[in-house]
Chain A
């Protein structure tokens, strides 16, 4: 099975993602699963501080942050190898910590000095212990790449072994592969909303990550799902392709995360059509949701139509491809804002880039926008400063790094991605029906507060 690679490794100002080891967050995101890190001191702490603390202050929870066992490798281990330390660490972890699944993540040191963590983990697997080994040296790529490595390792070494019977697929059961946990500041609320609307449309949903997932039991049912649903421009595609081969499961790829009533209805219809399940339920669900949704929009219109101090008309989005594309669609199709420049920062593998560019050529029937792939904050902010936003200052959807530029432009900023250090995020979502309303609240609260 092929592992994705980031397109390039240029030096970076203002880092906008973690390293492959940072994908231990994808383990912490599975209820009941516990990462074990085989890495230097500081590696886990750095990824935790960046991804789940100063990024929406999401917190570590049951199996994140300071809980995570780590071998904290020292000079001695660099010289003589650290496999024995890992062995000890796993033995102790099994006594001290309660978990249904342990995932060992090998970092730069272990990979560079050649610690055979696979062999260590294998000896525990042979004793029937639910444990998995993933090679996530930080130099291999960012946490998106690490996520795919971790997920495939779990499927290969755990799901496959303990899978529920799957000769017969369960019609209407779907595995969802979408946002990257913790990297996307709003992933918890978003995945919950995604699950809610899919269930509303009549599906049984393996959402797999977050507090609405059913832990490792849910992972064991992956092979019996009718199909895999990838809701992102590229992340998860290789997982779906891998599952297609392995379990003979088809997949449906919808690049755009749905935001708002139109997009969500359209999204649900696509999934229902693909699944071939009864359409009555989805139609009823959409009617009920739209009734609620448009109630709020109608009241919001007093403000929207009458606020005479002016709302921004043009925008830029700087962020991971999933949110970047989704927010673009919403702003263009629902708010009629004018796209200025869009910058994708998650360093997608080269093979997916053309398809992503195509999506921006067709944001609406008559709207397209330029999109650039950049990770370097200096270049990003230089571009943002040079773009022509028309006669009114823009609204920028970006990260904490874009705050100075936004101030310089006299514009507004909504933090929608890593790092979002000026957002405290619990269950907020910006997708689906509920998320669209939250996003509208956030956008216009930001705009109206400018003079406060």
Chain B
């Protein structure tokens, strides 16, 4: 089966498509070595705590398209958290110059016991008609759920029929939670839907537009690209159905987070002829150099890249030295999704901290671009050395708590909600930055460094909390090896 096949309704999950795993114990260097040599085998956990699922990941990519609507076809609970994206859309709108963020259009077919017996196809069709009538959305996405899949609703047929009836793209996204433990499979599912039904083949390629696949981070690229005479086409948060449909016309695609955009970047290159910049995103001085050079090369403007690098280094490196002096030798622990986790590991070591370990949610041995060049973990190991206690851990709090208990770092760096809590409970200052562009580039290192100093110095709240907090974990568990519940084969 082809890894990218836009004639198919579904894309394979990461476990089968990329060989991704959600468990590993060892060092980062060991993992990189294993990844380069055939398939790595994840182990099974006999104890597990709640993880994310693909639905939320697909949802966050399609809900934030300005003029689309989203229907979650399943029981009400699968959609009850989606208001978080309505919230995110508003909170981050100023970062992306959206002056009047409109209400997100989020729907649930709310299937009940009756539909579990008789099927929910009719209800879905009715809901799609209603949603179109109400919102006049430019496209409607339908997210599948575990329950809808188990009862066997034929979502692809229903959406295709309604697409003919209503004359707008109605896009089924197959992202049932039980299909994958790697919840980033949901990004791929969402992008697959966009690639197969929204993106139109390019008639012309615009030399002044670069696709940026990202979350809802601040708009750093407009300024960076301006020097090269190009502008960003952000995919997908704050985009429009129309702008997405033209993503095929861009001169290149860059990734803010290859874990996020792996599939779409490759689909745009392989199916629409848009070259993908495969070197990992610009986190840390060395990688920022490489990234600007690669951008310059692809645009045929290498001299501009050299000029930017020289100017920015002259401005920021002296500041960086001062920040390093204050952070040198501090011990940091990282918990984050894969690519951004790798980015944070570069950033913190560039700033002079020492990485004592990491709990990274999953590991892709290779991305869809199918090149070792894109491996950000290998890059951070090459640039800054190995990382001990590198744990692939899909938000398993019990392992994180155990690690923090043993390692006692000075600071916990996180990227996802629900994880920084334990830093605070142990009296460890924690920093979670939602804006994934915050620490990018040379200036990003300065920004992040300053925040880090603030966080480490500002530990009054967590130090006090640690004295008064209750711990649900047994002493027995805290004294075990953190990987005790990793057993045998996957």
A98 in contact with B50 given A60-B421, A108-B147, A400-B83 (CB within 8 Å): no
B147–A66 CB distance below 8 A: no
A72–B48 CB distance below 8 A: yes
- Give the CA-CA distance A72 to B44 in the complex, in Å: 12
A75–B179 CB distance below 8 A: yes
B147 contact from A17, A67, A139, Cβ within 8 A: A139
Least Cβ distance of B415 to chain A in Å? 14
- Give the CA-CA distance A404 to B86 in the complex, in Å: 12
- Give the CA-CA distance A13 to B110 in the complex, in Å: 10
Within residues 33 to 59 of chain B, which ones have a CB less than 8 A from any CB in chain A?
46-56
Flag the segment in B1-9, B101-109, B239-247, B363-371 that touches A: B101-109
State whether the Cβ of A260 lies closer than 8 Å to any Cβ in chain B: no
- CB neighbours of A9 from chain B (8 A): 110-112, 114-115
- Give the CA-CA distance A70 to B74 in the complex, in Å: 20
Least Cβ distance of A75 to chain B in Å? 6
- Give the CA-CA distance A104 to B182 in the complex, in Å: 24
Flag the segment in B267-275, B282-290, B446-454, B471-479 that touches A: B471-479
A109–B178 CB distance below 8 A: yes
State whether the Cβ of B80 lies closer than 8 Å to any Cβ in chain A: yes
B130 contact from A11, A53, A108, Cβ within 8 A: A11
- Give the CA-CA distance A70 to B45 in the complex, in Å: 11
A45–B113 CB distance below 8 A: no
- CB neighbours of B55 from chain A (8 A): 42, 46
B108–A98 CB distance below 8 A: no
B108 contact from A11, A20, A71, Cβ within 8 A: A11
- CB neighbours of B177 from chain A (8 A): 40-43
Q: Chain A contact residues (Cβ within 8 angstroms of B): what range?
A: 35 or more
State whether the Cβ of A416 lies closer than 8 Å to any Cβ in chain B: no
A69–B48 CB distance below 8 A: yes
Least Cβ distance of A368 to chain B in Å? 31
Closest to A109 in B: B146
- CB neighbours of A68 from chain B (8 A): 49-50
State whether the Cβ of A277 lies closer than 8 Å to any Cβ in chain B: no
A140–B477 CB distance below 8 A: no
Within residues 231 to 288 of chain A, which ones have a CB less than 8 A from any CB in chain B?
none
B52–A62 CB distance below 8 A: no
A46 contact from B77, B103, B114, B176, Cβ within 8 A: B77
Closest to A69 in B: B49
Closest to A404 in B: B103
A18–B77 CB distance below 8 A: yes
A74-94 vs B, CB cutoff 8 Å, 1 = contact: the mask equals 110110000000001101110
- Give the CA-CA distance A165 to B183 in the complex, in Å: 49
- Give the CA-CA distance A75 to B116 in the complex, in Å: 18
B81–A10 CB distance below 8 A: no
B83–A19 CB distance below 8 A: no
State whether the Cβ of A142 lies closer than 8 Å to any Cβ in chain B: yes
Least Cβ distance of B184 to chain A in Å? 12
A112–B48 CB distance below 8 A: no
- CB neighbours of B344 from chain A (8 A): none
State whether the Cβ of A397 lies closer than 8 Å to any Cβ in chain B: no
A70 in contact with B127 given A18-B77, A49-B81, A54-B87 (CB within 8 Å): no
- CB neighbours of A201 from chain B (8 A): none
Least Cβ distance of B478 to chain A in Å? 10
Least Cβ distance of A120 to chain B in Å? 15
Least Cβ distance of A293 to chain B in Å? 32
B447-490 vs A, CB cutoff 8 Å, 1 = contact: the mask equals 00000000000000000000000111110110000000100000
B50–A43 CB distance below 8 A: yes
Least Cβ distance of B74 to chain A in Å? 8
- Give the CA-CA distance A143 to B470 in the complex, in Å: 27
B116–A139 CB distance below 8 A: yes
- Give the CA-CA distance A10 to B181 in the complex, in Å: 31
A20, A37, A69, A98 interface centre (most CB from chain B within 10 Å): A98
State whether the Cβ of A47 lies closer than 8 Å to any Cβ in chain B: yes
State whether the Cβ of A305 lies closer than 8 Å to any Cβ in chain B: no
Least Cβ distance of A319 to chain B in Å? 15
A40 contact from B112, B178, B477, Cβ within 8 A: B178
A43 in contact with B53 given A49-B84, A92-B485 (CB within 8 Å): yes
Q: Which 9 A-B pairs have the closest CB atoms?
A: A42-B53, A19-B77, A44-B50, A92-B47, A9-B112, A138-B75, A50-B81, A40-B177, A70-B50
In the complex, 19 of the A-B residue pairs with CB atoms within 8 angstroms, ordered by the A residue number, are A9-B111, A13-B107, A20-B77, A45-B51, A45-B56, A45-B418, A46-B77, A63-B472, A66-B397, A66-B421, A67-B49, A74-B178, A75-B178, A92-B46, A92-B485, A95-B476, A96-B398, A97-B474, A404-B103
Known A18-B80, A98-B474, A404-B103; further 8 A-B contacts with Cβ < 8 A: A10-B110, A15-B76, A34-B472, A41-B181, A45-B418, A66-B50, A69-B50, A75-B178
